[in-house]
Amino acid sequence: MSERGVIVVGGGISGLMAALKVVEKGIPVKIFSVVRVKRSHTVCAEGGINAALNTKGEGDSIDEHIRDTIVGGDFLAHQKPIVKLCNAAPSIIYMYDRMGVTFSRTPEGRIDLRLFGGVKKRRTAFAGATTGQQLMYALDEQIRKYEALGLVTKHEFWSFQSVVRDGSGRGIGIIAMDMKTMELRAFPAAAVIICTGGYGHIYGRCTASTHCNGSAASSLYQQGATFANPEFVQFHPTTIPNIDKMRLISEAVRGEGGRIWTYRNGKPWYFLEEWYPSYGNLVPRDIAARAIYKVVREMGLGIDGKDAVYLDVTHIDRKRLDERLGGVLEKYERFMGEDPREVPMKVFPAAHYSMGGLWVDENHMTTIEGVFAAGECDYLYHGANRLGANSLLSASFSGFEAGSRVVEYIKGKDQNTDKKWFDDELKRQNEQFKLLAAASGDENVYALHHELNDVMCDKVGIVRKNDELSSAITKILELKERFKKCGTSDGSRWGNQELIFKKDLYNMLELAHAIAAAALLRNESRGAHYKPEFPERDDANWAKITKVRFAPDAPKFEYEDVEMSYMPPTKRDYR
Ligand SMILES: Cc1cc2nc3c(=O)[nH]c(=O)nc-3n(C[C@H](O)[C@H](O)[C@H](O)COP(=O)(O)OP(=O)(O)OC[C@H]3O[C@@H](n4cnc5c(N)ncnc54)[C@H](O)[C@@H]3O)c2cc1C
């Protein structure tokens, strides 16, 4: 057993699950999080979690879940991990059930299921419209048991900066910053599990919480960890358009019968139902987002000439809406001042989920030995497009896997206690922060972030063109240069949010460069990556996972063939 214990960075659903699997074996765990663990982004997940439970008697099966996930991901995900994921799904749901999650039930008392996108069978278990919160709080309760025993320590409002590596390159701890005192400190560990979520905030106007900025994953990437499929960013079709945050209207709304339409020739036009009669409003997200984009931006049919189409639930019984979708509809009402039970909602796509992430092997270890990754910050399960409600599942399962593999990994491993490695990395981080604090000039970090968001949304978004991707890279390089002239208006050494954000922005810029460069190279259309110049999927050349390594001038790329042992690629057709 390890004397040093294990560090888990991130306290969302994947981090808590990983921590639980480690601490259950009596191994101490330290959890680091930039927010209170219970405020981790998972708390926002509304719609549900997938598992082929077949409680509705529709003949659903694990095989169908596997196939839907592979096809949904447009054949860019290795298939063996998906097989494991879908096989584990039912027992994961029953585990949460035993932990006390109040899943919505059928009148007979069985776990109720709802429809989600890209599938034909009801497969999504849910707890009203607050599923993520219920799952995460159940895990937190389990963790608190071990916290009371002194086996888990939570470092909330601590920000991960880098991993400490020994002479062989193995991860032996981390450097983190106390976000109140701004103190940087080294923490040794027998192994580190990174569970820091996605990188939506590189796009800014996204559905994710502000801590989903990819900063931690980018730090690791800059330290040598390989990043995979960065170009695959999911745009969710139905979010409330706004100038800052885009608030999600869950796919559950369409799962419960919500319909998308806009006016054409003065009459409602249900374009998804017309174009995709088989799946209708429940085509996968990449397809729905692209269709809405086409109708609004290319055909000029946005509501009132704006970036919006209608998402309509006014035909559904009010009582049923409140029971099944209460939380989601209240959110719309609060922010838009209109009751969606009476007036159709106005929605438009926005950046939502990161399919790409840290490259991991089948044990969830990154290319840095001793450093594992799980949850939205790994790349393993969703290929080119994630199906709705498969993320709470993959985050739970990958946390479970990473935690269990770490327990095996640290067995019998010698403990590298040489202080030198910790002192060296601490010094490097202190110097970086000193430089960031000392930089002067009239650029502003927040303004630069907005410029980054604009270029990513406009040129590295739903529809991608090579000339625009090239100009996006030029712009990102310009932003990197201008970043050097960012002064810091807040000179305090206490809770300096501006300085912390400055470091995050630096990391976001590096990752943005990798996203745009990977998108430029991939000359095909697959899942969320759509290029009108190359409108078809090109399996002969691009059935490959992008693997990117950091280099100071420009990212370096190599590719890995996709393992397709479960099913060969087929045409992805939802009509
Ligand atoms: C609005 C919304 C609704 C969604 N609904 C669903 C749904 O119904 N079903 C579904 O399957 N999926 C859904 N998703 C996706 C799903 O919620 C996420 O993919 C999942 O919760 C990610 O969990 P995670 O554990 O990987 O990361 P998160 O829950 O994002 O947690 C990340 C953790 O990392 C910490 N962290 C980040 N950076 C640092 C750092 N530098 N240092 C220290 N700690 C750090 C944070 O504090 C946090 O604790 C939804 C997503 C959104 C945006």
**47-86, pLDDT tens digit by residue?**
999 999 999 999 999 999 999 999 999 999 999 999 999 9
Examine the fold and report which residue of 320, 350, 380 is the final residue of a domain before the chain moves on.
350
Are 344 and 439 part of one and the same domain?
A: no
Rounded CA-CA distance 509/431 in Å is 20
Q: Is the pLDDT of residue 441 over 90?
A: yes
CATH number at residue 335: 3.90.700.10
Are 336 and 436 part of one and the same domain?
A: no
Question: Is 331 a member of any domain?
Answer: yes
Question: Is 454 a member of any domain?
Answer: yes
Ligand 1 site-directed mutation target among 392, 396, 398, most atoms within 8 Å of CB: 392
* Token pair of 205 as six digits: 């106007």
Q: How many domains does the chain have?
A: 2
Question: Is 434 a member of any domain?
Answer: yes
- What is the CA(12)–ligand 1 centre distance, in A? 6
Work out the angle at residue 15's Cα, subtended by the Cα atoms of residues 39 and 9, and round it to the nearest 5 degrees.
90
Q: Is the pLDDT of residue 3 over 90?
A: no
Q: Which atom of ligand 1 is nearest to the CA of 198?
A: 30
Q: Which atom of ligand 1 is nearest to the CA of 196?
A: 34
Predicted pLDDT of residue 2: 46
Q: What is the per-residue DSSP string for 449-518?
A: HHHHHHHHHHHSSSS--HHHHHHHHHHHHHHHHHHTTB--S---SSS-HHHHHHHHHHHHHHHHHHHHHH
Predicted pLDDT of residue 1: 37
Query: pLDDT digits over 232-273, tens only?
Result: 999 999 999 888 889 999 999 999 999 999 999 999 999 999
Of 552, 498, 543, the C-alpha closest to 522 is 543
- What is the CA(571)–ligand 1 centre distance, in A? 31
Are 432 and 330 part of one and the same domain?
A: no
How many other C-beta atoms lie within 10 A of the C-beta of residue 419? Answer: 10
The residue assigned the tokens 């030029």 is 474
Q: Is the pLDDT of residue 416 over 80?
A: no
* 3-state secondary structure (DSSP) of residue 114: strand
Are 426 and 346 part of one and the same domain?
A: no
Question: Is 151 a member of any domain?
Answer: no
Question: Is 292 a member of any domain?
Answer: yes
Q: Which atom of ligand 1 is nearest to the CA of 208?
A: 53
Q: Which atom of ligand 1 is nearest to the CA of 13?
A: 25
Q: How far is CA 504 from the centre of its chain?
A: 17
Are 446 and 341 part of one and the same domain?
A: no
Query: pLDDT digits over 326-381, tens only?
Result: 989 999 999 999 999 999 999 999 999 999 999 999 999 999 999 999 999 999 99
Query: pLDDT digits over 281-301, tens only?
Result: 999 999 999 999 999 999 999
Examine the fold and report which residue of 350, 381, 408 is the final residue of a domain before the chain moves on.
350
Please give the share of the chain, as a percent, with pLDDT higher than 70.
99
- What is the CA(423)–ligand 1 centre distance, in A? 32
Are 436 and 346 part of one and the same domain?
A: no
Question: Is 532 a member of any domain?
Answer: yes
What residues act catalytically? Answer: 285
**What is the domain extent for residue 494?**
420-539
- What is the CA(513)–ligand 1 centre distance, in A? 23
| Local structure of residue 205 (DSSP, 8 states) | S
Strand order in the sheet with 158-165: 158-165, 171-178, 184-188
- What is the CA(533)–ligand 1 centre distance, in A? 34
Nearest CA to ligand 1 atom 6: 45
Lining residues, ligand 1, CB within 6 Å: 9-15, 32-35, 37, 40-42, 44-49, 131-132, 159-160, 195-197, 207-208, 211-212, 215-216, 248, 250, 352-353, 375-377, 389-392, 395
CATH number at residue 441: 1.20.58.100
Question: Is 204 a member of any domain?
Answer: no
